[in-house]
Chain A
Amino acid sequence: MAEIRLENVSKRYGDIVALDDVTLTIEDGAFTSIFGPPSSGKSVLLRVLLGLEPVDAGRILIDGREVTAAAPDARGLSMVFQNLALFPHLSARENIIFPLRRRAVETAEIDRRLAQVVGVLNIGHILHKPPAALSGGERQRVAIGRALIRDAGAYLMDEPLAALDARLRDAMRVELKRLQSELGRTFVYVTHDCEEAMSVADRMAILEAGRIAQIDQPDAVYVRPASQYVAELVGAPGINLLDGERDGQGVRCAMGRIAAAPGTGAARIALRPEALRLQSADAPGLRGTVSDIERLGAFSIVTVAGEGVALRALADGDAPHRLGDAVSLAVDPAGLHLFDPASGARLGEDAA
């Protein structure tokens, strides 16, 4: 097990800055997810960690030992790739023990470690089969088994569930979470899927154009996004954004006024859809007209428009509203965030 630390790491490709002065500690024995949209630098981060790419500046330390210039093999990290990279001509068993064979580990030791991996992954019944005879989820397990059988300081995964269908993905992420907590090993998990990043990890690092936008527990990221960028990336349905002006005790926007932390000046208002409750038009709140209703089974997304802006509110699947209804929206302050319109930085409690 190992703690991994990046100190002021930068990586450029010509004019493109892929990683920009990244400092990050991946805690020993924790499950850390690295999340960001395409080209935010998450795969590059993984590649420099693994030693597949040299860094241009900064240091990488594993358990305090500098490995910045060390070869991939010397870093003691184990990797599960997105495309699995299983050998088609080998059985599941041979695929899993391949890394040990390559390192000339003794047969008795191989058997011992295989038994352990097979136990946690529950794959004893498929060991004899070649990859082509396995389902998507089984292949995924074999690939994870091949990574886990190594005695590595940390286990790195690059979008390991991306190729699976939704239901299997949901099931596998629970498996991974259980696996990590049973094994207590350091897991680093790269994904562009926010829900996945939040559900598997103890800590979540969010990348923005090669920089760390926020690193915290997933729930803390949701409750207290550090910037507008993070607020927009995290949560589904997506957060509402509109312009406002703070007046000391509240913030005024086109559709009305919301009580908020003290402060004055322009603010970007961000409102989570679940923090907006539809009420009758005469109740106090933000006023508008229902302009769209999207019924999604368990819940509906009701869009309320007024004065040139629109807000999306979460409602029950069978919400009684109709297009054109005049409504008022009550705001739960827990889902209200204010950001600096220029920098996108969080405003409010600290600024007060």
Chain B
Amino acid sequence: MSSVTLEGTTKTFGDFTAVRAMDLQIANGEFVAILGPSGCGKTTTMNMIAGIEEVSAGTIRFDARDVTRVPMQKRGVGFVFQNYAIFTHLSVRENLAFGLEIRGLGRGEIDRKVGEMAEFMALGHRLQEPSAALSVNEMQKLAIGRSAIVEPAIFLLDEPLSNLDAAFRERMRAELRQLQRALKQTMVYVTHDQIEAMGLADRIAVMNHAVLQQFDTPKRIYDAPANVFVARFIGAPSMNILPVELSGDAVRLAGRPADSLPLPAASRAALADRQSRDLLFGFRPEALRIADDGAEASLSAEIVLVETVGRRAIVHFQSGTSRFTGVFERGFPGRAGEAVPLAFDMGRAHFFDRESERRIEITPGRGVLDG
């Protein structure tokens, strides 16, 4: 196990900056996901940690040791790629034992470790089989096991589940969490899939356009996204982010002067010096409810489309000039063309500065006094 520290770590390819001045401190034994859309610099970041890509500027340290110029094979990292790279001419057992044999471990210890890992990966009964006989899913599992078994100080995984089918991906998420709990390795996991990052990581580093946007726990990333990009990238369907009219103690959606959404005291305080034109208003689709009879502040919206997708109904609304989505349980009663009263917990609404797109911090404590 090692901690990993990136300081001002930058990668340029000619005029193109793939990773810009990245600062990241990954603790010993921590599971960190690097998350972002394609081209955001996440794989380049991992490749620099692995030593596959040279660093253009800045440093990388494992614990106190500066590894910025240390070649890959001397860094002690394990690596699992998107396309499982296992030796198909070897048996499952030989694949698992390979790294241990290279390191010159004794027969007994190799057998013990191979047995444990095979058991853990539910491949115990298939140890003697040629690995070519495994399914695509099992091959990737074997690839992960083969890298994990040598207990690298740092374990790097690059979209390891992206070629697997949906049901198996769900199972592998659970197995990877257990593996990490058991081995307590420092794990860095690159993915474009926000569900994987949320489900696996202790902390998530969200990247966009070569720049780190936020590095925080999944809960904080979901509840308190640093900016519009993070807010929209995490959660599906995406957070609704709309222009809004602010008038003292309430907000209104554009084109809906009649529907007033009162602000909690904490939000009022945080927005006191703001103008409508500076603001974006955000709320998650799952925060939306059908309002009870008149009792609470509500917003009238017309249903544009109801998508029933398994357990959920994703409902598309229009109110004034704003369009937004809500997520409800299946069996949503409304139909396209109908108007419905909607409500949401304004205490959980987000506000962003329109210029910088950064979230405006609302300190909940200030709402309690006069709430």
* Residues in chain A within 8 A of chain B (CB atoms): 37-38, 165-167, 170, 173-174, 177-178, 194-195, 198-199, 218-219, 222, 232-238, 272, 274, 292, 294-298, 301, 303, 314, 317
B347 within 8 A of A: no
What are 20 residue pairs bridging A and B, where the CB atoms are less than 8 Å apart in the complex?
Answer: A166-B236, A167-B233, A174-B305, A198-B309, A199-B307, A222-B330, A235-B310, A236-B166, A237-B170, A292-B174, A292-B178, A294-B173, A294-B174, A296-B198, A297-B218, A297-B234, A298-B222, A298-B235, A298-B284, A314-B311
Besides A177-B305, A195-B309, A292-B178, 19 more A-B contacts (Cβ < 8 Å) are: A167-B233, A170-B238, A198-B307, A199-B307, A199-B309, A199-B314, A219-B308, A237-B170, A238-B167, A274-B329, A294-B173, A294-B199, A295-B198, A296-B195, A296-B199, A298-B222, A298-B327, A301-B170, A303-B174
Residues in B with CB closer than 8 Å to A295 are 198-199, 218-219
Q: How far is the CB of B312 from chain A (nearest CB, A)?
A: 9
Of residues 269 through 314 on chain B, the ones whose CB sits less than 8 Å from some CB of chain A are 284, 286, 305, 307-311, 314
Q: How far is the CB of B66 from chain A (nearest CB, A)?
A: 36
Alpha-carbon gap, A296 to B204, bound state (A): 12
Give the top 4 A-B pairs by smallest Cβ distance, nearest first: A297-B222, A199-B307, A294-B199, A238-B167
Alpha-carbon gap, A244 to B222, bound state (A): 39
| Closest partner residue, chain B, to A198 (CB atom) | B309
Residue contact A298 to B174, C-beta cutoff 8 Å: no
Which of B165, B222, B284 contacts A37 (CB under 8 A)? B165
Residues in A with CB closer than 8 Å to B329 are 274
B177 within 8 A of A: yes
Residues in B with CB closer than 8 Å to A317 are 222
Q: How far is the CB of B349 from chain A (nearest CB, A)?
A: 16
Q: Number of B interface residues, CB 8 Å? A: 38
Residues in B with CB closer than 8 Å to A234 are 310
B341 within 8 A of A: no
Residues in A with CB closer than 8 Å to B310 are 194-195, 198, 222, 234-236
| Closest partner residue, chain B, to A38 (CB atom) | B165
Alpha-carbon gap, A301 to B310, bound state (A): 16
The B contact surface, by secondary structure, is mixed
B209 within 8 A of A: no
Residues in B with CB closer than 8 Å to A297 are 198, 218, 222, 234-235
* Residues in chain B within 8 A of chain A (CB atoms): 37-38, 165-167, 170, 173-174, 177-178, 192, 194-195, 198-199, 218-219, 222, 232-238, 284, 286, 305, 307-311, 314, 316, 327, 329-330
Alpha-carbon gap, A222 to B311, bound state (A): 8
Alpha-carbon gap, A115 to B284, bound state (A): 37
Alpha-carbon gap, A317 to B177, bound state (A): 18
Residues in B with CB closer than 8 Å to A301 are 170, 199
Residues in A with CB closer than 8 Å to B234 are 297
Q: How far is the CB of A35 from chain B (nearest CB, A)?
A: 12
Say yes or no: A272-B307 contact (C-beta < 8 A), given A165-B37, A298-B327: no
Q: How far is the CB of A26 from chain B (nearest CB, A)?
A: 21
Q: How far is the CB of A16 from chain B (nearest CB, A)?
A: 17
Say yes or no: A238-B170 contact (C-beta < 8 A), given A174-B316, A297-B198: yes
| Closest partner residue, chain A, to B174 (CB atom) | A292
Alpha-carbon gap, A128 to B233, bound state (A): 31
Residues in B with CB closer than 8 Å to A296 are 195, 198-199, 218
Residue contact B199 to A167, C-beta cutoff 8 Å: no
Q: How far is the CB of B131 from chain A (nearest CB, A)?
A: 21
Alpha-carbon gap, A221 to B234, bound state (A): 29
Alpha-carbon gap, A294 to B198, bound state (A): 8
Say yes or no: A274-B311 contact (C-beta < 8 A), given A178-B305, A295-B198, A297-B235: yes
Which of A178, A198, A274, A298 contacts B308 (CB under 8 A)? A198
Alpha-carbon gap, A132 to B165, bound state (A): 32
Q: How far is the CB of B362 from chain A (nearest CB, A)?
A: 18
Alpha-carbon gap, A194 to B237, bound state (A): 15
Residue contact B167 to A272, C-beta cutoff 8 Å: no
Say yes or no: A219-B165 contact (C-beta < 8 A), given A170-B238, A177-B307, A296-B198: no
Residue contact B170 to A218, C-beta cutoff 8 Å: no
Q: How far is the CB of A24 from chain B (nearest CB, A)?
A: 23
| Closest partner residue, chain B, to A173 (CB atom) | B307
Residues in B with CB closer than 8 Å to A38 are 165
Q: How far is the CB of A154 from chain B (nearest CB, A)?
A: 22
Which of A166, A167, A218, A232 contacts B167 (CB under 8 A)? A232
Residue contact A298 to B286, C-beta cutoff 8 Å: yes
Alpha-carbon gap, A234 to B330, bound state (A): 14
Q: How far is the CB of B164 from chain A (nearest CB, A)?
A: 11
Alpha-carbon gap, A296 to B286, bound state (A): 13
Alpha-carbon gap, A295 to B165, bound state (A): 21
Alpha-carbon gap, A174 to B194, bound state (A): 21
Which one of A198, A274, A297 has the highest number of Cβ atoms from chain B below 10 Å of its Cβ? A297
Residue contact B218 to A292, C-beta cutoff 8 Å: no
Say yes or no: A174-B307 contact (C-beta < 8 A), given A232-B167, A294-B173, A294-B174: yes
Alpha-carbon gap, A195 to B327, bound state (A): 14
Residues in A with CB closer than 8 Å to B284 are 298
Residue contact A165 to B38, C-beta cutoff 8 Å: yes
Which one of A219, A235, A298 has the highest number of Cβ atoms from chain B below 10 Å of its Cβ? A298
Residue contact B308 to A294, C-beta cutoff 8 Å: no
Alpha-carbon gap, A197 to B177, bound state (A): 30
Alpha-carbon gap, A160 to B234, bound state (A): 24
Which one of B38, B199, B232, B305 has the highest number of Cβ atoms from chain A below 10 Å of its Cβ? B199
Q: How far is the CB of B218 from chain A (nearest CB, A)?
A: 6
Residue contact A218 to B311, C-beta cutoff 8 Å: no
